[in-house]
Amino acid sequence: MALDLDAIRNKLAQLSGRKKSASSLWKPQGKTNVRMLPLKTENGTPFHERYFYYNIGNNPGILAPHQFGKPDPIQELINKLHDDGSPESRELAKKLYPKLRTYAAVVVRGEEEKGSRLWGFGKMVYQSLLNILLDSDYGDVSDPMEGHDLSVTVTKQPGRQFATTEVMPRPKVTPLSDDADQIKQWIDDIPNIDDIYTLKSYDEIKSIVNNWLSGETHDNEHTTTAVAPRKDTNKSDKVYTDLDDAFNDLLS
């Protein structure tokens, strides 16, 4: 059986510390031009879709295991809350629903030396990009030779909680680069989203949820107090060892 040289190179990069997950992500600020790269994904579009649970403990986002067909303790909790049927349970279930985050591979103009990166965005930007791809005036904006750069503008109006991101294709057809070798390198080096966001085990997620329900969150070696969805604050010092126990206490 032939060796998978790409897998070996990736492992070597991980062990030598050259693979930096944080630097593989791009967050737009102000006005920037980017070029989408042709990305092959499981859904047939040039976008990765991932569902995350948010606002549970000190975790910026937890990949939802059920999207990969795996057992999911948070989804189990959501189902139990729905089965309970009380207004409080339904309200908590709504807060736990996973949210979609979508990713495109891009090269940022003016920062080409940083290579190909992944740009993560929400529903509105995703819809805008899909509509651009369906617009016959532009076609496949990610085409390396006959595509279009995208103008990404982020603004935040006074008094509004969130910023607004607008995406518009540049009118002129341009190549990704005048250097064919550079184009190949950028496409070959598109970050693997599964290297950036790893799926936690069932037991890891269950422990996070139990601690959250009990009023505690754990971040590495530190334990901090968190706002937990509890009816009885007198129980906040209890540590649960079982998700069912935590759920039953939550409703009691």
Per-residue pLDDT band for 9 (boundaries 50, 70, 90) equals: low
- pLDDT tens-digit map of 65-118: 999 999 999 999 999 999 988 888 999 899 899 999 999 999 999 999 999 999
Instruction: Annotate 58-127 with three-state secondary structure.
Output: CECCEECHHHHCCCCHHHHHHHHHHHHCCHHHHHHHHHHCCEEEEEEEEEECCCHHHCCEEEEECHHHHH
Average pLDDT of 27-44? 92
The pLDDT assigned to 49 comes to 96
Q: What is the mean pLDDT of residues 5-14?
A: 57
pTM attached to this predicted model: 0.77
Do 62 and 73 touch, CB atoms closer than 8 A? Answer: no
- Look at phi and psi of residue 159 and say left if phi exceeds 0, alpha if psi is from -120 to 50, else beta: left
- pLDDT at position 161 is 79
Q: Residue 237's closest CA among 215, 252, 221, 218? A: 215
Q: Which range, 43-47, 204-208, 209-213, 244-248, has the best average confidence (pLDDT)?
A: 204-208
The answer to whether residue 236 scores a pLDDT higher than 50 is no
Asked whether the beta carbons of 56 and 229 are under 8 A apart, the reply is no
Overall average pLDDT of the 184-188 stretch? 96
Domains and CATH numbers, the chain: 22-200 (3.90.198.10)
pLDDT in tens, 125-142: 999 999 999 999 998 999
**DSSP for residue 207:** H
